[in-house]
Amino acid sequence: MANHPGKSIPFEYAMHTARPRITGALIKPVGSLCNLDCPYCYYLDKKKLFRDRIQRMGTSVLETFICQYIEANRESDQISFCWHGGEPLLAGMDFYLKAVALQKKHARGKTISNELQTNGTLIDRDWACFFRDNDFLVGVSIDGPEYLHDAYRKDKNGCGSFRKVIGGIENLYRTGVRYNTLTTVNHITREHGTLIYNFLKAVGSYHMQFLPVLEYVKDTGMSDQERPVVVPPGTAGARPAPWSVSSEKYGHFLWDIFQEWSNKDVGVRFVPFFESVLANSLGVPPGICAWCETCGDNVVVEWNGDVYVCDHFVYPDYYLGNISTTSFGQMVCSGKLFRFGMDKKNSLPEQCLRCRYYHICLGECPKHRFDTTADGRPGLNSLCAGYKYFFERSESKISEIVRNITLTKSLNN
């Protein structure tokens, strides 16, 4: 590690020694608008941040952002746009045709790529052909076999979405579109790691992201029917949401799928969590922001040009500005974003900094820090016990894989 694990990173030091930033962004062309109504979704209630009933990105905002985003990443030869939601396909195909045309117009000779995360229910053959023709990488949210997926992933009428999602995946497969899967580990799926992993293999996934559902909520006090509001760490009166996975069960889930992956699929199928553990063990940059020492490299751009520090911190206190009045480049180099990024390490309790596994997890995502340490200090990751369970059991196998990677590198050199 570049810094002693027991020391915080001074703000002035970071500001003056920061590397040239290759800043990513999750672009929300329809804000939180979605055709599903998943109880565990942390983004649905973000519509309350805006007065406008119709939340869709217009051409002016789109072009302004594309220009500013390319300019902010001018030192990179490759620039990736990541379209997110809500459900980004609700923006319509004309929107993305326009986006691709504007990217080409303002590319400045750079290689432009696009990624899109979708619930998969709207992917027909036309969408699949569009993705293929424009080389989009598509992430599809699917929680496993039908009875597990449909437990939470329902439409506005309370009907399960599984069959539509499978239809969407089939359209991608038949058309030759690259696709990944994103699977939540929640209160129901937590017991079925091996089953879900093998199911995802069966549907053709070679890149599987497993996202722990750990949300804290606060009741609105208005009606029993109104969904509770997801809140950030430090909110008084917050309680774990009923759909959240416990730390213990999450650790068991990771261990179950790791045994499958490490025995059969290393180098064939990719699980970002495992890849990040290996990367940190090797001392190279991980592929997930949660496993970096600091964060702040993946901001959110809302439909109207508002920019927030992170997808999990779209709250007024974490607002950076709007691209119509402040350039994207200025916002991502601002002191406010730097402080947010450095707080990932600087706000950790001493117990974490002295942990034998700190060099691997680096505190994980700040959005999960709802617990206190044994001596009452705040900032402990609520998934800590589960991660330790996993690290203790996987340690020897991780070391073996690391040795093999190191040996292969030395032989190739």
Dist. CA 280–CA 92, nearest whole Å: 39
DSSP strand E in 214-257: where? 216-218, 229-231, 239-240
- CA–CA separation, 270 and 291 (whole Å): 16
> Which class for 366: exposed (0-12), middle (13-18), buried (19 or more C-beta within 10 A)?
buried
Give the integer Cα–Cα distance in Å for 134 and 101.
Answer: 10
375 catalytic? Reply is: no
Spatial separation of the C-alpha atoms in residues 108 and 122, rounded to whole Å: 33
- Measured over all CA atoms, what is the biggest interatomic distance in the chain, rounded to whole angstroms? 65
Cα–Cα dist 153/125, whole Å: 23
At 373, list the tokens: 């340490």
The encoded tokens of residue 359 equal 């060099």
Q: Please calculate the CA angle 81-83-85 and round it to the nearest 5 degrees.
A: 155
Backbone φ, ψ for residue 24 (5° rounding) = -95, 165
Q: Helix, strand or coil for residue 378? A: strand
CB 27 within 8 A of CB 81: yes
Single out the catalytic residue among 143, 256, 306, 311.
Answer: 311
What pairs with residue 231 in β-bridges?
Answer: 216
In degrees and rounded to multiples of 5, residue 171 shows phi and psi of: -65, -40
* Structure-block tokens of residue 366: 């700040």
Mapped onto helix, strand or coil, the DSSP state of residue 301 is: strand
Q: Are 69 and 25 in contact (CB under 8 A)?
A: yes
Sort 206 into a burial class: Cβ within 10 Å, 0-12 / 13-18 / 19+. middle
| Residue 137: closest CA among 195, 98, 176, 188 | 176
Token readout for 244 is: 């959240």
Q: Give yes or no for a contact between 361 and 387, defined as CB atoms under 8 angstroms apart.
A: yes
Q: Name 203's Cβ contacts closer than 8 Å, sequence gap at least 6.
A: 142, 166, 169, 181
Catalytic center residues:
311
